Amino acid sequence: MSYSSELYQQVILDHNKKPRNFRKLEDPTHICPGHNPLCGDHLTIYLEIDGETIQDVCFEGSGCAISKASASMMTEAVKGKPVEEVRGIFSQFHDMLTGDMDPSSGGHQLGKLAIFEGVKEYSSRVKCASLSWHALVGALNMQKEVCTEGEQDPS
């Protein structure tokens, strides 16, 4: 099976078609738009944090299937979790995408998110899968916006 057919599994396609928590939060405690100039993907993460816990998380925007499904599955993965734990999951997710961590070796909290492992074979798509996470961390850090890269699309 090729990496791309592994990548475009039913779970990802389903989240792309019916993204979870795909809405705007009217009164968020944290908000951050993310932009991937390579794909033209834009999405905004909204958070409601109560003390140390992410009470609610949702997103809106447009993008490729990988970025949308990743954002959708991220919201499910982080809702109700303490901020520090979420930062830890981001770090594991990031390491998986860059090939620095093998999810099959265990000892991580990625759960269903391990499905994005195939993305690491496509360096140009790593940013699609990580856009929502960067925006989430941007929101936690009170950044105005995040951008996955400088322009990298010659001709």
Partner 1 sequence: MKREDIRSEFPELNRRVHDHPLSYFDSGATTLKPKAVCDGLRQFYGEDYATIHRGAYLLSEKATQSYEAVRGKVAGLIGASKSTEIIFTSGTTDSINLVANTYGSSSIKSGQVILVSAMEHHSNIVPWQMLCERVGSVLKVIPMDDDGVLDQDAYQKLLIDNEVALVAFNHVSNALGTINPVVPMVALAHEHGAKVLVDGAQSVAHCSVDVKGWDVDFFAFSSHKLYGPTGCGVLYGKEDLLSSMPPWKGGGDMIYSVSFEKTSYAEPPARFEAGTPPIAEVIGLGIAIDWLLSIGLKEVEALEGEVQKYALEKLMEVKGLRLIGKAPKRAGAISFLLDEAHPHDIATLVDSKGVAIRAGHHCAQPVMTRLGIPATARASLGVYNNKEDVDRLVEALHYVNKIFGA
DSSP string, 8-62: T-HHHHHHHHS-TTBS--SS-SEEEEEEETTTTEEEEEEEEEETTEEEEEEEEEE
Q: Does 22 bind partner 1 (CB under 8 A)?
A: no
Q: Which stretch binds partner 1 (CB under 8 A): 20-28, 48-56, 77-85, 147-155?
A: 147-155
Smaller CB separation from partner 1, 42 or 108: 42
Contact map string, positions 35 to 54, toward partner 1, x by CB under 8 A: --xxxxxx------------
Which DSSP symbol is given to 121? G
Please select the residue that binds partner 1; options are 77, 128, 131, 146, rule is CB under 8 A. Answer: 128
Query: What's the token pair of residue 140?
Result: 């936690």
- What CA–CA distances, in Å, run from 29 to 5, 62, 69, 143? 38, 22, 24, 13
- Beta strand 30-36 with 41-50: parallel, antiparallel or unpaired? antiparallel
Q: Does 105 bind partner 1 (CB under 8 A)?
A: no
Smaller CB separation from partner 1, 36 or 92: 36
Tell the smallest beta-carbon distance from residue 35 to partner 1 (Å).
10
Q: Which residues bind partner 1 (CB under 8 A)?
A: 2-5, 7-8, 13, 17, 37-42, 62-66, 122, 124-125, 128, 151, 153-155
